[in-house]
């Protein structure tokens, strides 16, 4: 018997093994074909199983079970036209027995652009829903129905982007995916570089080296993208599928996915990381089992930044326990103290649904998560959405609409470095096709048609001398109500800076330099309708070498307790200073006059200094940044008595002072907040009350 393996692959939500279509030359009996079909499906050989079931339909055209299996397998392989045809055949006289087929017929009609027909069949499905065993379909019904109206709602809108397929130098008939913009003229992407279907002797498959997905590089030359070959470094493998990568925020680490089938024929993906040392990338190591839970997939890493601690947040996709649908988006915060990522948490019901969520991309500069899902109202299949937020706190997701989304699957959204456009991956009609018109994912490039070029320029100057300050560090924050979050950090070699801004936002640009207090300016792009250049200088004040007195800071009589007015004073002086300069460490000192014994004054001044430190802690300031020190009467700044020996009340009042001086700096990311754990639990509480279909 002669058997051949037809190598073909497609990409929906995760890396999968090759689908191997076997062409049988000799005839098989119906029972044998059914066993072969089931075994092929069990082992993940979807195309092989499809061929067997098609033969079964040929042998027994009236067998509805086999028709239904063919419809299902055509849907899995994203042959929407054939899937619709077979689902329709099943639904002719068997809708009550196969209500799932009515639902999937509607989704295939949506994928084929027949939204009105899809709406009719969803209405029919609603009547049959009581007999549906798959509770997930009942929950997805509403969003699928809403999606049927999206084309009409969007038809009169002006396209906000121009989408075009990448050249045949980049895209090939097999799968192309996972675009990673490196610069405006360099792109890393995943691909299976096979130009045609190939047949292999099935007896030799176990000993053969079948082609695998790898990382490749594209380069823009003039207006065209050109294929430049494999990505250099230790990332690709001869035997394992790799792709889906992201850089750390400082570009010194590269996170990516490797996928293999386990003994149960389930494709398991794991996230690896490689570190750049000089000009060389280290051998990738698999991340720990908190990220790569044993027996479950972890893939599609993307890097965000936390508002509170400015720490990296790893977002990724997984099917681990706690997942609401097929795949969910999860996140893990980096712990700078332990130098490792924390236990992952679910991104929550504002993002995840009973459907599938995949290919997240986090835009740090706007705190926006772009991702694909079929669990929200979609034009067809997986649509790309965006949501502003972080961790598990998100604003409502927004469908990006036409032409970013289409009737087919749209995923792998990635912005270019200048944010004027980016890349998506889609199996929409019009791409390169090997098996059917919508089988294979291609990379598409898009350019925003309404992009506003908004730039803020200025100088960083010494407040006193007006001289340029070189190598100042700028932190750009976006302000949303009372919250602000870090958008980007840059170092300015000379005093002139230039920052790209996004429209419709309020910014704080903060400058800092050793031996200077931080200072900031506010900039708003709200209401700006055309490209513009804004100008803002930032002046920094020298940190004095001498201690700084906090004037009029009073305590209760003969006590270390702060008065109400003193607390209000601290709120507007010291607290503001500490928040604006989160890296400084202060000695907080208290002094007395010489009335009373030395021991008593020393004890009282120590308690008063501690009282200020404790009050700052109640305002969220880490105590490790404040060193309380009581000096009693040992460091008067003026005499307590006049030259003739008489008392000087005014001078005594000057000596009874609280002051501070800067004694060092700390990495703000290492600050421990006492209420961190409590705030995390508070964030999680609303999630527990929400249902999966919200």
The tokens describing 52, both together, are: 């067997």
| pTM recorded for the entire structure | 0.84
C-alpha 433/C-alpha 174 separation (Å) is 7
What domains are defined for the chain? 4-154 (1.25.40.10), 161-169+237-449 (2.115.10), 454-540 (2.60.40.1120), 548-677 (3.30.1330.60)
Query: What's the average model confidence in pLDDT over 325-333?
Result: 95
Whether the per-residue pLDDT at 282 is higher than 50: the answer is yes
Residue carrying structure tokens 């067997």 = 52
C-alpha 496/C-alpha 471 separation (Å) is 10
- pLDDT band with cut points at 50, 70 and 90 for residue 315: very high
- pLDDT band with cut points at 50, 70 and 90 for residue 304: very high
Do 353 and 373 contact (CB within 8 A), yes or no?
Answer: yes
Do 300 and 259 contact (CB within 8 A), yes or no?
Answer: no
Question: Mapping DSSP to helix (H, G, I), strand (E, B) and coil, where does residue 593 land?
Answer: coil
- Indicate the pairing of strand 626-632 with strand 584-591: parallel
Q: If 0-12 CB within 10 Å is exposed, 13-18 middle and 19+ buried, where does residue 572 land?
A: exposed
Q: Which helix (H) or strand (E) holds 162?
A: strand 161-165
Residue carrying structure tokens 């065993």 = 133
Question: Mapping DSSP to helix (H, G, I), strand (E, B) and coil, where does residue 363 land?
Answer: strand
The tokens describing 230, both together, are: 């494999």
The tokens describing 666, both together, are: 């700390």
Residue carrying structure tokens 């196969």 = 98
Whether the per-residue pLDDT at 683 is higher than 80: the answer is no
**Structure confidence by residue, pLDDT tens digits, 371-419:** 999 999 999 999 999 999 999 999 999 999 999 999 999 999 999 999 9
C-alpha 124/C-alpha 99 separation (Å) is 9
Whether the per-residue pLDDT at 205 is higher than 60: the answer is no
Whether the per-residue pLDDT at 690 is higher than 60: the answer is no
The tokens describing 519, both together, are: 């200072």
Whether the per-residue pLDDT at 623 is higher than 80: the answer is yes
C-alpha 387/C-alpha 317 separation (Å) is 16
- Per DSSP, 282 falls in state P
Question: Mapping DSSP to helix (H, G, I), strand (E, B) and coil, where does residue 285 land?
Answer: strand
Q: Which residue has the higher pLDDT, 595 or 533?
A: 533
Whether the per-residue pLDDT at 198 is higher than 90: the answer is no
C-alpha 379/C-alpha 150 separation (Å) is 6
Do 656 and 647 contact (CB within 8 A), yes or no?
Answer: no
């Amino acid at each position: 018997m002669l058997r051949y393996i037809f190598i073909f692959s497609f990409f929906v939500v995760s890396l999968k093994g090759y689908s191997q279509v076997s062409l049988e030359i000799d005839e098989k009996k119906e029972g044998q074909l059914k066993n072969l079909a089931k075994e092929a499906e069990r082992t993940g050989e979807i195309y092989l199983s499809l061929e067997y079931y098609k033969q079964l339909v040929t042998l027994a055209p009236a067998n509805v079970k086999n028709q239904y299996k063919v419809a299902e397998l055509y849907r899995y392989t994203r042959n929407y036209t054939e899937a619709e045809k077979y689902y329709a055949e099943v639904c002719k006289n068997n809708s009550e027995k196969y209500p799932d087929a009515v639902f999937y017929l509607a989704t295939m009609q949506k994928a084929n652009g027949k939204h009105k027909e899809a709406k009719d069949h969803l209405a029919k499905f609603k009547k049959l829903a009581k007999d549906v065993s798959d509770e997930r379909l009942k929950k997805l019904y509403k969003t699928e129905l809403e999606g049927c109206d999206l084309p009409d709602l969007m038809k009169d809108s002006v396209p906000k982007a121009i989408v075009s397929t990448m050249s045949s130098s980049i895209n090939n008939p097999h799968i192309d995916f996972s675009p990673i913009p490196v610069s405006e003229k360099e792109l890393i992407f995943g691909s299976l570089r096979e130009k045609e279907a190939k047949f292999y002797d099935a007896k030799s498959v176990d000993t053969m080296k079948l082609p695998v997905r790898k990382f490749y590089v594209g380069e823009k030359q003039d207006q065209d993208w050109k294929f430049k070959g494999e990505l250099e470094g230790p990332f690709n493998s001869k035997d394992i599928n790799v792709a889906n990568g992201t850089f750390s925020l400082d570009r010194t680490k590269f996170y990516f996915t490797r996928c293999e089938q386990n003994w149960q024929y389930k494709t398991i993906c794991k996230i690896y990381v490689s570190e750049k040392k000089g000009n060389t990338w280290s051998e990738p190591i698999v991340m720990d089992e908190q990220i790569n839970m044993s027996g479950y997939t972890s893939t599609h890493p993307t890097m965000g930044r936390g508002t509170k601690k400015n720490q990296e947040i790893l977002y990724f996709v997984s099917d681990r326990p706690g997942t609401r649908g097929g795949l969910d988006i999860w996140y893990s915060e980096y712990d700078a103290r332990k130098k490792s990522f924390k236990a992952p948490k679910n991104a929550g019901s504002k993002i995840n649904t009973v459907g599938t969520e995949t290919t997240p991309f986090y835009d740090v500069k706007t705190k926006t998560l772009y991702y694909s899902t079929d669990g929200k109202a979609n034009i067809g299949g997986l649509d790309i959405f965006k949501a502003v937020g972080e961790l598990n706190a998100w604003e409502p997701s927004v469908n990006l609409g036409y032409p970013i989304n289409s009737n087919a699957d749209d995923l792998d959204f990635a912005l270019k470095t200048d944010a004027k456009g980016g890349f998506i991956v889609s199996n929409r009609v019009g791409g390169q096709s090997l098996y059917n018109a919508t089988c294979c994912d291609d990379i598409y490039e898009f350019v925003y048609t309404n992009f506003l070029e908004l730039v803020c320029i200025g100088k960083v100057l010494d407040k006193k001398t007006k001289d340029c300050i070189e190598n100042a560090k700028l932190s750009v924050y976006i302000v949303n109500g009372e919250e602000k979050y870090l958008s980007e950090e840059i170092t300015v070699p000379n005093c002139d800076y230039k920052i790209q801004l996004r429209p419709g936002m309020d910014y704080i640009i903060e400058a800092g330099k050793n031996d200077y207090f931080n200072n900031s300016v506010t900039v708003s792009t709200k209401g700006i309708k055309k490209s513009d250049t804004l100008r803002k200088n930032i002046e920094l004040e020298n940190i004095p070498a001498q201690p700084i007195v906090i004037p009029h800071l009073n305590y209760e009589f003969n006590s270390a307790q702060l008065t109400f007015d003193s607390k209000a004073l601290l709120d507007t002086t010291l607290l503001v200073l500490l928040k604006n300069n989160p890296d400084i460490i202060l000695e907080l000192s208290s002094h007395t006059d010489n009335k009373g014994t030395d021991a008593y004054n020393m004890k009282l001044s120590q308690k008063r200094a501690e009282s200020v430190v404790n009050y700052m802690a109640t305002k969220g300031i880490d105590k490790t940044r404040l060193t309380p020190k009581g000096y009693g009467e040992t460091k008067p700044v003026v005499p307590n008595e006049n030259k003739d020996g008489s008392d000087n009340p005014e001078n005594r009042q000057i000596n009874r002072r609280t002051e501070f001086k800067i004694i060092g700096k700390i990495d703000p990311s290492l600050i421990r907040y006492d209420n961190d754990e409590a705030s995390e639990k508070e964030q999680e509480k609303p999630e527990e009350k929400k249902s999966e279909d919200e």
